[in-house]
Each structure stands twice: as C-alpha cells, then as structure tokens.
Amino acid sequence: MTNLVHVNYAQTGKSKSTNELGMREMQQKAYEGRTAQYLLLKAPPASGKSRALMFIALDKLKNQGIKKVIVAVPEKSIGASFGTTKLKKFGFFADWIPKPKYNLCTPGEEKSKVRAFLSFLASDAQILVCTHATLRFAFDGLDVKTLDNTLVAIDEFHHVSSEGDNILGQVLKSIMTKSNAHIVAMTGSYFRGDSVPVLMPEDEAKFTKVTYTYYQQLNGYEYLKSLGIGYHFYTGRYFKKHPEKEMSALAEVLDENQKTIIHIPSVNSTESSKEKYEEVNHIIDVLGELKYQEETTGVLYIKSHKTGKTLKVADLVNDNPKSRDKISAYLRNVKSVGDIDIIIALGMAKEGFDWPYCQHALTIGYRGSLTEIIQIIGRATRDSNNKTHAQFTNLIAQPDAEDIEVKLSVNNMLKAITASLLMEQVLSPNFKFKLKKEGDDDEKEESQEEDGNTIKIRGFKLPTSQRAKDIIETDLNDLKAKILQDPQMLKAMPGNIEPEVINTVLIPKIIREVYPKLNIEDVEAIRQYVVVDSVIKNSMIEEQGNKKFIRMAGSFVNIDDLHIDLIDQVNPFQKAFEILSKSVTTQVLKLIDEHIQSTKIEMTEEEAILLWPKIKEWVKNNKGEQPNIQAFDHKEKRMAEALIFLRELKRKKELENG
C-alpha cells in the first residue's frame, strides 16, 4: 500500500545522546525552564518526558522551596514510568526515590487511595504518584491551600479541558488561583483538543512553554530512518473477504513479520460490529489457528495461516481484571523482540505504553481526535535496533450510497485525510519565514547560513504583539488542527473553492474565532504564517546549481522570487483532493462531491468581491459568455453563484439609496 505521508530522517543520534548530567537533548531543554512556576512541556512519545520531570522536580525540592511533588498520570500502567530511578550514577545530584506506599498506581480501592493521598500531604514524604482519577477524588473537599509549596505534575496534559464539566480542568484552575503551587504539565500531543481548549487563553498565557518537535526527536534517532502514514479504504467488514478479492482488508495490510499493535474500532464507530470480543476472535481467525493460551502470562499462541510459524498475541480487549492484569504484567516485562508479536487493543496501548520493538500501528476505524492519532503513531516511533521503518496504517470504511450514514462517512474520510496532511507537517522540519526587503538579494543573513531553513518572502507581514509571536512559535500546529477540522474548511477541501478564498477569507475567519482578542495586523500576520508554512511543507524544494526552486501547484518558482500574493494563489490543502482522487473509486469520489455540493459554503460579500476579477477574466476568455450556475466545473459554478450574489447585493443597495 502506498503511503500518503513518507518522511525520512538523518539518524544523527543527537536526541539519544546525554550530557554530563545524564540528560538527553529534550530533557536539557526542559531543565532550562525549571524555575518557572507553571511549565508546559510538549514533546513526542519516547523523548523522555518522565525523566525530564524527575530532573525538574528534584531541583525544585532542593533549590526552589518546594516541599512535596505530586505526579498524576491518566492510567495505572503509566505510573511505572515514575518508579525509582538512579540518576546520580549518570551525573545528576540526586536519585528519584518515591516511597512504595505512595505509589498509588497499584490495584486497590479508590477510597483507600484517596486516604493515602491525604496522609501523604500530612507526612514528611516528598513524592507521590497517582492517577488523574485519584487526584480528582482527593481534591473534593480538600483545602487548596494545603498544596502551597507543592509541585503538581500532570502527565498527558491534553486530558485536561477548560470545559465546565471537566473536573480535572476545574482542579487545575483552582490550584492556580487559590495556592502558590507550581505546575508542570506534560503532553506527547501537539494538540490541545479538537474543539475545546485545555486552558483558557488567560490561563495558558501564564505557562512557560517548552516545545521539542517530532522532527527533532526522530531525526536524532540511531536506528529509525523513516516513517510512513497510510490510509486503506475498504467496503463491507474489515475482517471479511471482499467478494472481488481473495482476502479481507485486514489481511491485506497486516504483515505478521512486523511487530504490530492493532487497535480495533470504537464501539460507536461505523466500522465496529458492536461486539468487541467477537472482533478479537475475527482478527485471530485472520491470523491463523489458536493453539492455546498460556496460563501464567495470558499470551495467546496462534499458528499462522500464511507461514505456519507460531505467533505470540496479547489480547488487551478482554475486560476480565485477572486476565488483563496477567497480560499487562507480561507486557511491562518484555525484554526482547521475540517476547510478543501482535497486540490487540481497544482503549489501551495508546498513551504511555512502551513497546520499543513495535514497527506497525494498525488502527481500524476513523479517529476523530488528532490527539489520539499522534498518540497511536507514537507507539511505533520508539527507536530500536529491530527496525529502520515505522508505519501507521488506518483502515477506514468507504462511504456507501445505500448507507443512511453516508454524510458521516464522507466527513470521516475528509477528516482522516486532513489529519494525515497535518501529521506530515508535524513530522517534517520547521521553516522560519522572514520579510524579504530591497537589497536582500545581495546579502545573506547569519541565521540563514546557520540553519538553512530560513525563507525570505516579499510582502510577508511580521507579528507585532508578543501574544502573536507566541502563537506562531508554540501553537501553530494547534491552530492548523482547528483550521483543518473546521466544518467550512472540510467542505472547501476537495478543491471546489478558489485558493484565495481559503487563504484570505476562511482561514482568517477561523483565526479570529480562536483568538478573538488579536488585532487585525496580528490576525493577518498569523494567517500568512499558517498559509506559507502549509504551502511550503506541502511543496517540493529542489536545488539546481546555486539556486533553490520550489514546486507549488504544479510549477517551479525560484525561491528568491517568492511573494505572499503568489503563495495566496496556492491551495495549501490541495494535496487532500489529490489523495482522495488516487485513493478511492470514481463512484466514492462522486458521493463525496455530491455531499460537498449539498452542503456548500454560503457566499459572503468578501468572497464575492474577491472573485469579481476572476469573473471578468472568465467572461473575457469565453467571448462574453457568463459562468453557468449548472456547470460541472466547481469553480465556474462558484463564480456564477458570486455573480448572482453581487447582483442581489447591488439591487439591495439601490433600494436602500432609492
């Protein structure tokens, strides 16, 4: 299967090497911000966030007047990441040694864990590890001032939300407003959420942000050389043979020679059969014949249909506590490549799950959360000597004309494609953009010589406020996620809207909705940065002699001749339509087109005025004939709609002046 996204990395080893204190590159960067009262750490899976927190917390305990540290993780299994860790032998001044009685990520009743939490606050112990749930329950009725001079560290911070019914969000806000506690928030995702922000802007502004990109992490690995992201569209059931094919969709994309995590669909998705245990059985049937299940570990031994070899399979879908505990304990102690071959999961094995040997994350069913996608991809991007390539594959059901949920299926496909576009940008190196002034042709700036990723653009607008600069520096991917998932943008995605309308009408509209307090100049500066960054990252840059050329919208442009007006004429998401047209059948593409047409974007005066020069040019090129509202060509039809809109607007204004 052809990947929609394929990124190669340099294998520099930089992100894995350590300094004299035993810190890796990301951890050094995080440690530089250790004195901040509120610190937000965005770094990809496997970059060492757990240990980064240990370094920061120990410094706060020794040098910053902090008396206690509370670490909250989303689920019990992740608590193991914060167990006793010898740091002194690598050069740090102290070891991380939480007392066993205050590691609350162990089996037991929630009430006893809350009692242990409260007893910790009254004791002389310094470190406690608990789940998000324990923190929430313990906080109920707690005097917040009790947390004065305490560091509260929240792992997988994207679980927090500013929404009223998000209890963890309320806990965080209360801690910030009613105590002098320090907070370290950590997340392996680049996205705060798909619709509701984690923090309100005024609270978020209080955090010092440390961002370590996916590209920095993967480019600095020793073994992993490339990462692929692919989507596979199918009809019928993913585990059943298609009438026109010899195998099921699952069998087509599942390579038993690759260490694989299979995430079955959510029971609420169209891909689900609604019977999760039966789906596990179907997957086992696709793999081969179940021989036996080992009593002590819970590992399933399956004889492969294809090769006859025995596959070791872990079932994390089974809800039986004893069975789940057995197999979870086994997976935590995996030490070699041969210990497990395939893991089947539903909600588990996403965040914080560490299986370095995993080569393929195979996800069945559309994932509406970009946060979830990046977490799942992270399962396969650990660096390990058994792999040079990591793969993420998403099996998604194609829309069916007979299906009453065709609208939902179309939206899911569009969102899946846009997610892949965003992931391509997240996984690629970052560029810096500057205004190109007169005379710049004859001189090279030092920064350009240093990083090689600085591009100068004529007419480029720079932000004026610190807030706008911070958004560009740390929140660009968050903003792109909101733009790509916006309902109007999804309708524009298949290329039926002029690029200038997308770039100069729709995108700034969304920016104004996300950041309502920004002034006009900063909205325009951020808009330009979003558009330029997206266009450049979806284009090809080639060197010929001592000159660089960029391929945008099918033509090569000298990189020295780039102007913002030229870039605004390129659809930054054109690749989405190209992906769709290559990945699905003509019939499915027609279904998508019909859906888009039935829910087309309403015309605005801003768009109509922008289209007016194109209408005049179109009339001139077609010997005076006006664009036809019944045309098959989307752009001609849109111009005809704009013409009708402008005529109606003119009529209304004449009546008003009349």
Please give the pLDDT value at position 641: 82
- Under the banding of pLDDT at 50, 70 and 90, the label for residue 59 is very high
Letter string b/e over residues 165-187, b meaning 16 or more CB atoms within 10 A of that residue's CB: ebbbbbbbbebbeebebbbbbbb
Q: Which is more confident, 205 or 301?
A: 301
Please give the pLDDT value at position 403: 62
Contact 154, 72 (CB under 8 A): yes
Structure token pair of residue 366 = 């559309």
Q: How far is CA 225 from CA 18, 192, 218, 258, 467, in A?
A: 21, 28, 8, 16, 36
Best CA proximity match to 55, nearest among 95, 14, 18: 95
CA distance 55 to 319: 36
594-611 mean pLDDT: 73
Q: Which is more confident, 408 or 392?
A: 392
CA distance 382 to 379: 7
Other CB atoms closer than 10 Å to residue 629's CB: what's the count?
13
Q: 532-573 pLDDT, tens per residue? A: 998 888 777 787 777 888 877 667 888 888 899 889 888 877
Contact 227, 219 (CB under 8 A): no
CA distance 366 to 363: 8
Percent of the chain with pLDDT over 90: 31
Q: 17-56 pLDDT, tens per residue? A: 999 999 999 999 999 999 999 999 988 877 889 999 999 9
Q: Which is more confident, 20 or 229?
A: 20
Q: Say whether 582 sits in a helix, a strand or coil.
A: helix
Structure token pair of residue 399 = 């829309």
pLDDT at residue 64 is higher than 90: yes
Least confident of 248-252, 341-345, 598-602: 598-602
CA distance 498 to 502: 7
DSSP 339: G
Q: 109-135 pLDDT, tens per residue? A: 777 899 999 999 999 999 999 999 899
pLDDT at residue 448 is higher than 60: no
Q: What is the pTM of this model?
A: 0.77
604-615 mean pLDDT: 87
Least confident of 4-8, 103-107, 323-327: 4-8
Please give the pLDDT value at position 240: 81
Least confident of 231-240, 304-313, 382-391, 434-443: 434-443
Q: Which residue has the tokens 């052809």?
A: 2
Q: Strands, E, within 192-274: which ranges?
A: 208-211, 226-234, 260-263
- Under the banding of pLDDT at 50, 70 and 90, the label for residue 531 is very high
Please give the pLDDT value at position 589: 65
- Enclosing H/E stretch for 55: helix 49-63
Letter string b/e over residues 485-512, b meaning 16 or more CB atoms within 10 A of that residue's CB: bbebbbbbbbbbbbbbbbbbbbbbbbbe
pLDDT at residue 183 is higher than 90: yes
Q: Say whether 19 sits in a helix, a strand or coil.
A: coil
Residue 621 CA to chain centroid, in angstroms? Answer: 44
CA distance 143 to 150: 13
CA distance 422 to 370: 9
Question: Mean pLDDT, the chain, as a whole number?
Answer: 83
Contact 606, 500 (CB under 8 A): no
Q: Checking DSSP bridges between strand 547-552 and strand 540-544, what pairing results, if any?
A: antiparallel
Other CB atoms closer than 10 Å to residue 471's CB: what's the count?
24
Residue 38 CA to chain centroid, in angstroms? Answer: 23
CATH of 17-214, one of 3.40.50.300, 3.10.310.30, 3.40.50.150, 3.50.50.60: 3.40.50.300
Structure token pair of residue 314 = 């872990």
CA distance 600 to 641: 11
- Taking the CA atoms of residue 396, residue 397, residue 399 and residue 401 in that order, the dihedral angle to the nearest 10 degrees is 170
Structure token pair of residue 641 = 């709609």
Q: Strands, E, within 346-448: which ranges?
A: 360-364, 389-397, 432-435
- Under the banding of pLDDT at 50, 70 and 90, the label for residue 144 is very high
Taking every pair of Cα atoms in the chain, the longest distance, rounded to a whole number of angstroms, is 88
Q: Phi and psi (nearest 5°) for 645?
A: -60, -45
Q: Domain 220-397 class?
A: alpha beta
603-618 mean pLDDT: 86
Q: 462-487 pLDDT, tens per residue? A: 998 988 998 888 788 888 888 877 87
Please give the pLDDT value at position 495: 63
- Under the banding of pLDDT at 50, 70 and 90, the label for residue 447 is very low
Q: Where along the chain do the CATH 3.40.50.300 domains lie?
A: 17-214, 220-397
CA distance 322 to 303: 25
